Structure 1
Amino acid sequence: MISKQVISLIFILPLLIPVVNSLEIQEENEERSILLKLKKEFGIDPSFLKSWSSDTSHHCNWEGIQCDAAGSVSGILFRFMNIKERVPGFICDLKNLTEIDLIGNLIPGKFPLPILNCSKLQFLDLSINQFVGKIPNDIDRLLNLRVLNLGYNQFSGDIPSSIGNLQFLRILSLLTNRFNGSFPPEIGNLSNLEFLGMAYNKFLPSKIPDEFSKMTKVRNFWMQEINLFGKIPYWIGNFSNMDRLSLSTNNLSGKIPENLFLMKNLKIMDLYENKLSGEIPREIECLNMEGIDLSTNELTGSIPEGIGKLRNLTRLAMDRNRLTGEIPTSIGLLPLLTNIQLFTNNLSGELPKELGLHSKLEGSYRKYLQIVLVYQI
């Protein structure tokens, strides 16, 4: 026999379906209303978002909007829309937001604190705007963030230590701001970080914190022109995934760690405009290398013969050092080399005949190198 519970469900279910449908419709209408209000508050030019309408088409099909599998708004992508108004306080009334992308606008003011209420947010891009002031100390309220891009604004002050609590963060970009305080060693707690971009800021003088050695997944280590001093830590050479290392235009000193030239995946090494001294490491096994710039340092000794093993090398700059000896013949055999700068050294001997025969040097580099060498002999 059919139980009383089953019989009850048979009668109740048909009554529940309209209720569920009604709630879904209500949620859709609420999201649509919030989006239209958001467009108005942002003052978005009518030439953008032409697909938006209060009475036609589903809002998940609107330009700049992403929805999840359940049909709820999960992403706002208002890129390069000439927005000049502040971020509205109700933006997180869209309760399922995982992505906010406002790159390339003219949004003014301090960091938009209402965004901290978007508890599900995984992707936040506020780059290329006109934000000022400090990053809020409670930035770690966005615990699910994978991407945080605040680059190309006018943020200033210190980087809060709480940023080190964003344990899922894979991309952290603070490039080209006006940070003039310190950056915390707690950034080293970001063990899932793959991109660290802090370049072009006026931080207080600092060494590279040893705590950063824990970020073993880093692929791009971009700390150019941020007032670093001291030695390049040996542990950087242990970052096996790294493909770009940029520490140029700082006050780094001491020798180049030998293991930097043993990094199998490294493609770009920019160490120019520092105070690095000693010889360039002899053992070279970074066979994926595409660009090396060691110019404007205090390096001595000869150019390593092993440079000729780097068959993918397109750019080699070692100018403005104190290098001696001859240019290795093997460099002339590099098939992809298009840019070589070795001027203002103490090099001697003849220019390798092979140089420029196996690759197309830009401009008249061969002729220029010849003149420089003759001048220096």
Structure 2
Amino acid sequence: MMLVVLRVVVCVHMLIILDLSYCDIQGPISSPFSNLTRLTSLNLAENHLNGSIPSSLLNLQRLTDLDLSWNKLSGQIPNVFDRITNLQTLSLHDNNFQGMLPSSLFTLTRLSQLDCSYNQIEGPLPNELLSNNIIGWSKFSGKFPQLEYLELSNNKLEGKVPKWIHDIPSLFHLKLSHNMFTFLNGSIPSSLSNLHHLVYLVLSRNNLSGKIPNLPSSLFTLTRLSQLDCSSNQIEGPLSDKVAFSNLTELFLEALQLLSNNIIGYSKFSGNFPQLKYLELSNNKLEGKVPKWIHDIHSLIHLKLSHNMFTSIGPISSPFSNLTHLTSLNLAGNQLNSSIPSSLLNLQRLTHLDLSMNDLSGQIPNVFDRLTNLQTLSLHDNNFQGKLPSSLFALTQLSSLDYSNNEIEGPLPNKL
């Protein structure tokens, strides 16, 4: 039946917009699509299409929007984009494309959105342009005056990030994570400050290196920046106000992710982030007490400090009591000792709490009736003693509870 419908559709030559997403279409892309010469928008996303992109599809010269994402398409992307010069959005993500990005792709001067993420594209990018899964283009100068959204993550791209990416005037979303990119001298270039409209910058899981005090201050002059993710790289050194991190306090930063680097401290860092909602510093070398500036970020929703060397939850008498919006707190894999502070259990919006793999001891406080939204609770691999608190069994939304490898004793309640 679907095949019959497709045959009917491709015979309607007057079609301008065609959306067949989520239609469970299987097999290769049908060549009769090329008969729809008036088509400006074609959406075949979220089907089971396989094979390669037929070059005939790219004869649709009026096409402005093409979405082939979330399929099983493979092979090399055909080098015929110079035929569809009106293209404004191109979504090829979540397929199995291989090889390098075609050079004609970088001649699309009207392109505003390009997403080739989650493929197996390889090779370097041209010296002036960026693309996911590309490993080596050397002497190409691309210009995208209208490009706003560039997503090339989760590919096999390598080599230096070309300068043309730093010069795209309208870019607000740049995501190059999970590749093998490097920057000149290994560190983040100051020329990124040219991207005045940048809101999302994700450079995680590449080969970035350098010391935090040497990060370019110009990076933190991006006044619209909302998310900065440099996690899983080789950035090292202490957080410091000498770095322009202090400038972030004047920005709209909502997410800061520096996990899985070699950050070693924060003694000279004031860290005042009035709008920060997501903070991830796990898998570093932070030690001592969880600093006061973290306790004072009242806007935090998600806090992940796991797998460091913290020994104390905080320097204040009621740790985390100011974080009334917090829904997720992860302190697993540290060296926290003493007992669970009761103030921690005043976080009434908390849905996920992980205190596992520490040296916490004493009896688990009987105050879980305050955490009625809690869905997951991990307390395993500590030194808790005594009985489980009765309030723990009043958590009706709890889906995961792990308190293994402790010294808890006594019978479980007969009824839950």
Aligned mate of 2:324, from 356, 359, 368: 359
> What amino acid maps onto 1:273 in structure 2?
S
**Correspondence 1:216 to 2:216:** no
Aligned mate of 1:189, from 136, 143, 149: 143
Q: 1:372 to 1:269 in 2, by over 3 A?
A: farther
Distance 2:206 2:267 in 1: 23
Relative to the length of structure 1, the TM-score reads 0.74
Alignment correspondent of 2:219: 260
Could you list the per-position Cα deviations for residues 263-302 of structure 1 after superposition, in whole angstroms to 9, with x for gaps in the alignment? 2211111111000123442422353111111011122441
Aligned mate of 2:74, from 127, 132, 155: 132
Alignment correspondent of 1:93: 35
**Correspondence 1:371 to 2:327:** no
Distance 2:40 2:267 in 1: 51
Shift of 1:186: 4.5
Q: 1:296 to 1:120 in 2, by over 3 A?
A: same
Distance 1:105 1:39 in 2: 13
Could you list the per-position Cα deviations for residues 79-133 of structure 1 after superposition, in whole angstroms to 9, with x for gaps in the alignment? 1101113222232322211111100011111112111110111000000111111
Whether the aligned pair in 2 keeps the contact of 1:237 and 1:257 (CA below 8 Å) is: no
Secondary structure of the corresponding residue to residue 371 of structure 1: coil
In terms of Rg, which structure is larger? 1
Distance 2:290 2:205 in 1: 26
Relative to the length of structure 2, the TM-score reads 0.68
Greater CA deviation, 295-304 or 122-131? 295-304
Alignment correspondent of 2:191: 235
Secondary structure of the corresponding residue to residue 114 of structure 2: strand
Secondary structure of the corresponding residue to residue 107 of structure 1: strand
Alignment correspondent of 1:298: 262
Distance 1:301 1:283 in 2: 15
Aligned mate of 2:299, from 329, 336, 340: 336
Whether the aligned pair in 2 keeps the contact of 1:191 and 1:214 (CA below 8 Å) is: no
Shift of 1:226: 1.0
Secondary structure of the corresponding residue to residue 193 of structure 2: helix
Q: Which structure 1 segments of 5+ residues have no match? A: 1-35, 45-51, 60-66
How do 1:116-127 and structure 2 match up within 5 A? 116-127=58-69
> What amino acid maps onto 2:206 in structure 1?
N
Greater CA deviation, 98-107 or 233-242? 233-242
Secondary structure of the corresponding residue to residue 323 of structure 2: coil
Shift of 1:360: 3.7
Q: Which structure 2 segments of 5+ residues have no match? A: 130-141, 340-357, 360-416
Hey, which of these two has a bigger chunk of strand by percent? 2
Secondary structure of the corresponding residue to residue 271 of structure 2: helix
Distance 2:301 2:202 in 1: 21
Distance 2:84 2:16 in 1: 15
Secondary structure of the corresponding residue to residue 94 of structure 2: coil
Equivalenced residue count is: 315
Greater CA deviation, 77-86 or 144-153? 77-86
Whether the aligned pair in 2 keeps the contact of 1:222 and 1:245 (CA below 8 Å) is: yes
**Correspondence 1:112 to 2:54:** yes
Distance 1:299 1:360 in 2: 26
Distance 1:197 1:316 in 2: 22
Secondary structure of the corresponding residue to residue 179 of structure 1: strand
**Correspondence 1:271 to 2:230:** yes
> What amino acid maps onto 1:98 in structure 2?
T
Q: 1:94 to 1:344 in 2, by over 3 A?
A: closer
Shift of 1:339: 2.2
Secondary structure of the corresponding residue to residue 192 of structure 2: helix
**Correspondence 1:40 to 2:38:** no
Shift of 1:141: 1.6
Distance 2:268 2:69 in 1: 41
Greater CA deviation, 101-110 or 131-140? 131-140
Shift of 1:238: 2.9
Shift of 1:192: 1.4
Distance 1:175 1:369 in 2: 34
Q: 1:162 to 1:367 in 2, by over 3 A?
A: closer
Alignment correspondent of 1:172: 114
Distance 2:330 2:191 in 1: 36
